Amino acid sequence: MAFMIAQRAYIKLFLITKVEQRRGYGYQMLEELKQEFAPFGYVPPQSEIYRALHELVQEGVLFRTKQLKGSDPSVDFQEIVLYQFTDDGTEKAELYKKQVKTDLDRCIGMLNKAVRDNY
């Protein structure tokens, strides 16, 4: 058993939830996460978000569709990669979340123990 939860797993969790709420793309979700974690002084690195998304595709949870960002192609040519759940992606995601939940609880327990025992 590893000591703490990995950053990758932690980020994947949030990405899954974001895709649950609405189809999203990497850069967008990255910026949102930066905002959310700002109070903790934690800046999720760009590379980790993309690595996490790639892994979720590899694992068959998400699939990619490319698409132009703006509604008017003559104005906005920016191509983005949208992520959404595969057919059985929702199930797989739920399973994954269940596993991560166990680990989260374990980690919280260990950190609380540190506070209890040493302060």
Shortest spacing between CB 74 and a second copy, in angstroms: 39
Shortest spacing between CB 77 and DNA, in angstroms: 2
**Does 4 participate in binding a second copy (rule CB under 8 A)?**
yes
CA-wise closest residue to 25 among 88, 69, 86: 69
Q: Which does 27 bind (CB under 5 to 8 A by kind): DNA, a second copy, none?
A: DNA
Q: Could you say which of 50, 59, 96, 100 contacts DNA (CB under 7 A)?
A: 50
Q: Could you say which of 36, 37, 38, 45 contacts DNA (CB under 7 A)?
A: 45
Distances (CA, A) of 67 to 25, 73, 78: 10, 10, 8
Residues that bind DNA (CB under 7 A): 2-3, 6-8, 25-28, 30-31, 45-48, 50-51, 53-54, 64, 69, 77-81
